[in-house]
Structure 1
């Protein structure tokens, strides 16, 4: 039951920061939709990490895959849509806000904000997990099991942030590139789940019916999560605005040509 305490503390901290943002700027305030999204992500994490799903996930591969979907795909999307970095930038003291902005523009942050890197960390590691003895090794050690959860969560948040996050990302490319990366992720999930269902290349010590059930959860659950991510990308996309001087110049040229 111990994961409930840090999740509760994170929820309280977010609510306090949201309240501070509304007090500092009553006109702009802070979106209740963003607050609801972040809290929904924490609830999904609680469902994944607490009974009855957590014990079931330890004993049954289907439970593990359901837990993986919640921790690595559904909860990250909800948390990212809560825009926690933007909330911090609005509420931190100026000096700390500048340090956070500097960190966001660092070389490491720019590298991690590349869709290919986020795709490799989130989706590319699934082959390493399920097609090598790594999965069986992590299931046999509690520390490895929690490290796997942390990887699912962090890599899932990174991918959701790069594809459709409302928080600032200096190296984020245009929508076409992000859609291509999302398409590659969808295809990779489909291939991995189908290989798993057929028993090809996988190294999972579990009954065949459990492995096939887990593969079906990955196939259908992954599709739904990625469709939600695509919808978030469309909802958060804003077309680039041309500079006003260029717009005025273009209008003048058109007006001159009509004389």
Structure 2
């Protein structure tokens, strides 16, 4: 029994390291890019660096350490991890404008090549708010209303795959609605706002569904606690997302009404 527990613990550490490694690489890559960029161009905003640090902290504490261990046996802890990894970390990292930093930190020719790749029809497709919502919110419905949630804790490969999806889908969802980095083929605010309303409603309904119909092998008490964390915690992050979208909408409308050089005073 002791040997089996030791093996499981070691295996869990390996899984955590696999998940955390990409975040560690991106974390230090961003800092290096800031240093290189600041040597030749205008100083990179410190607030964006702060967003990057906080976003990575949110992701890493979810994937490694006490919270990561607790998510295997406690559904409430799992939901806290979902909020940090799938909602808050993607939002903070998106606000750090990593693609903007990358494009200004590399040679011009390489930046042009990357810009061409970003204009590819595939990226335009997955960045569409409808597709991004299906991948993000639809993926959560699939996770919590099928045996997938239990299978995830039995298969290390599936566990890694799903957590990668949770973060990437959350990031894609964020950048599909708020444009921080350069975004080819931008869609209207009316369209994005309408899709966001539907997506947030679907997320809210899922939390209520979990409250009433817990996933297999999750106790009623833990399901209720986890559902409330998902509902109220999700609302907090979603309010920020909605605020940013409407703030950008307001700025664009103001610019169209009051062209440069004209003030309301």
Q: Distance in 1 between matches of 2:204 and 2:107?
A: 46
Structure 2 counterpart of 1:211, from 223, 239, 246:
223
Confirm or deny that 1:239 pairs with 2:252. yes
TM-score scaled by length of structure 1: 0.87
Contact 1:83 1:165 (8 Å CA) reproduced: no
Structure 1 residue ranges, 4+ long, deviating more than 4 angstroms after superposition? 3-6
| 1:53-111 CA-partner distances (Å, limit 9, x unpaired) | 00100111111111111110000000000000010110111221111101110000111
Query: 1:235 Cα deviation (Å)?
Result: 4.3
Partner of 1:16: 32
Q: Distance in 2 between matches of 1:104 and 1:147?
A: 24
Partner of 1:138: 152
Aligned residues: 243
Q: Distance in 2 between matches of 1:225 and 1:49?
A: 20
- Please tell me whether Structure 1 or Structure 2 has the larger radius of gyration of its CA atoms: 1
Residues 134 and 79 (structure 1), Cα distance of their counterparts in 2 relative to 1, 3 Å cut: same
Q: Which runs of 5+ in 2 are unaligned?
A: 1-12, 260-265
| 1:10-67 CA-partner distances (Å, limit 9, x unpaired) | 2221111112222111xx3211111111111001111111221001001111111111
Root-mean-square deviation over aligned CA pairs:
2.3
Q: Distance in 2 between matches of 1:37 and 1:51?
A: 22
Partner of 2:46: 32
Confirm or deny that 1:229 pairs with 2:245. no
Confirm or deny that 1:73 pairs with 2:83. no
Q: Distance in 2 between matches of 1:214 and 1:203?
A: 11
Q: Distance in 1 between matches of 2:248 and 2:86?
A: 21
Q: Distance in 2 between matches of 1:37 and 1:236?
A: 18
Q: Distance in 2 between matches of 1:8 and 1:130?
A: 29
SS of the equivalent of 2:217 reads coil
